[in-house]
């Protein structure tokens, strides 16, 4: 599933590739991906100009002319891939292309989704915050407002929660997913099932510091293509090569050489070194 670095990468690229473009048409091979009535969606999208593209947690907000906002969530296997012309479109279109946005300058934006969990929704801009449950989502971990004091407060409110689960909860901290929670906890030398009330002050500080370090490191590498992720140019991310524990079950720990272990935590995987993390 695309996590914060992947969604932020795509957002930044799309602001360079499609910001300022005007929609000509929209076609959906899978209308279930569109959560707005399809006829209304097409009609209200046509001739709208993209004024800005923002992100909240893992949701894209395309701010359009005329007070409309296009919401896009990639969920587990979604992709947003830009094609500069018809030839590029034909090269990038595949059997998992669920919808196509056409622009008046002859370029395209493809919405691909293998598992069909992703969705598109067109709403009035004044209702966008309510649609994405803005008030319920946690703080953005790369914003300056995400301070150590704020992080300590989040931990204090959930004393019995396992630290990996807390890091992955979008209603507590927005955007950190399975991959990066593993990497953050490994670098912090903290076991993923530790309850937050048992964390020492130095461990809390280390986790906080590594949240910023890992996310920025992954963003610089354009994210991780551990599964189906492609950036807006149709390229794989480069952070796969830097992963230390995620997806490394039974491989040697890069610090001590102990075999990396794996466990299930509420249906999600957790990779860790049994010696380095306690």
Q: For 226-248, what is the mean pLDDT? A: 94
Please indicate, yes or no, whether residues 21 and 107 belong to a single structural domain of this protein: yes
Please indicate, yes or no, whether residues 98 and 178 belong to a single structural domain of this protein: no
Task: Name the pTM for this structure.
Answer: 0.95
Q: What is the DSSP letter of 34?
A: B
Q: For 244-265, what is the mean pLDDT? A: 97
Question: Which CATH number characterizes residue 220's domain?
Answer: 1.10.8.50
Per-residue model confidence (pLDDT) at position 64: 98
Active-site annotation holder among 3, 8, 63, 183? 3
Please indicate, yes or no, whether residues 171 and 99 belong to a single structural domain of this protein: no
Number of domains present in the structure of the chain: 2
- Provide, rounded to the nearest whole percent, the portion of the chain with pLDDT above 70: 100
Residue 158 bears catalytic tag? no
pLDDT band at 184 (very low <50, low <70, confident <90, very high): very high
Domain that holds residue 177: 148-272
Residue 16 bears catalytic tag? no
Active-site annotation holder among 58, 162, 222, 244? 58
Q: What are the pLDDT digits (tens) for 207-228?
A: 999 999 999 999 999 999 978 8
Provide the strand spans (E) within the chain.
23-28, 50-56, 59-64, 68-73, 78-83, 97-103, 108-113, 119-124, 261-265, 268-272
Active-site annotation holder among 158, 161, 189, 268? 268
Angle at alpha carbon of residue 222, lines to 220 and 226, rounded to 5°: 125
138 within a domain of the structure (yes/no): no
Per-residue model confidence (pLDDT) at position 227: 80
Active-site annotation holder among 2, 5, 141, 192? 2
Please indicate, yes or no, whether residues 196 and 114 belong to a single structural domain of this protein: no
Question: Which CATH number characterizes residue 46's domain?
Answer: 3.20.190.10
Q: What are the pLDDT digits (tens) for 115-142?
A: 999 999 999 999 999 999 999 999 999 9
Residue 268 bears catalytic tag? yes
Please indicate, yes or no, whether residues 82 and 13 belong to a single structural domain of this protein: yes
Per-residue model confidence (pLDDT) at position 18: 98
């Amino acid at each position: 599933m695309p996590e914060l670095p992947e969604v932020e990468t795509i957002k930044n690229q799309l602001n360079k590739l499609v910001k300022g473009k005007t929609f000509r048409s929209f076609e959906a091979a899978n209308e279930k991906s569109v959560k707005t009535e399809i006829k209304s969606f097409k009609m209200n999208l046509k001739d709208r100009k993209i004024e800005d593209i923002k992100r909240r947690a893992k949701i894209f907000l395309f701010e359009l002319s005329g007070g409309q906002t296009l919401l896009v969530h990639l969920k587990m296997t979604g992709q947003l891939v830009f094609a500069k012309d018809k030839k590029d479109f034909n090269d990038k279109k595949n059997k998992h292309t669920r919808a196509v946005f056409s622009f008046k300058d002859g370029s395209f934006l493809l919405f691909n989704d293998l598992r069909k969990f992703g969705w598109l929704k067109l709403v009035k801009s004044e209702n966008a915050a309510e649609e994405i449950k803005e008030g319920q989502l946690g703080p953005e971990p790369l914003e300056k407002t995400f301070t150590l004091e704020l992080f300590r407060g989040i931990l204090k409110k959930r004393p019995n929660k396992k630290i990996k689960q807390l890091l992955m909860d979008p209603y507590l901290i927005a955007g950190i997913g399975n991959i990066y929670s593993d990497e953050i906890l490994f670098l912090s030398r903290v076991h993923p099932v530790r309850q937050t009330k048992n964390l020492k002050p130095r461990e809390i500080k280390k986790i906080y510091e590594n949240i910023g370090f890992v996310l920025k490191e992954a963003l610089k590498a354009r994210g991780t293509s551990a599964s189906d992720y492609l950036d807006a140019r149709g390229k794989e991310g480069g952070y796969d090569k830097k992963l230390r524990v995620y997806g490394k079950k039974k491989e040697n720990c890069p610090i001590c050489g102990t075999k990396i272990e794996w466990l299930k935590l509420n249906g999600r995987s957790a990779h860790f070194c049994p010696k380095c993390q306690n």
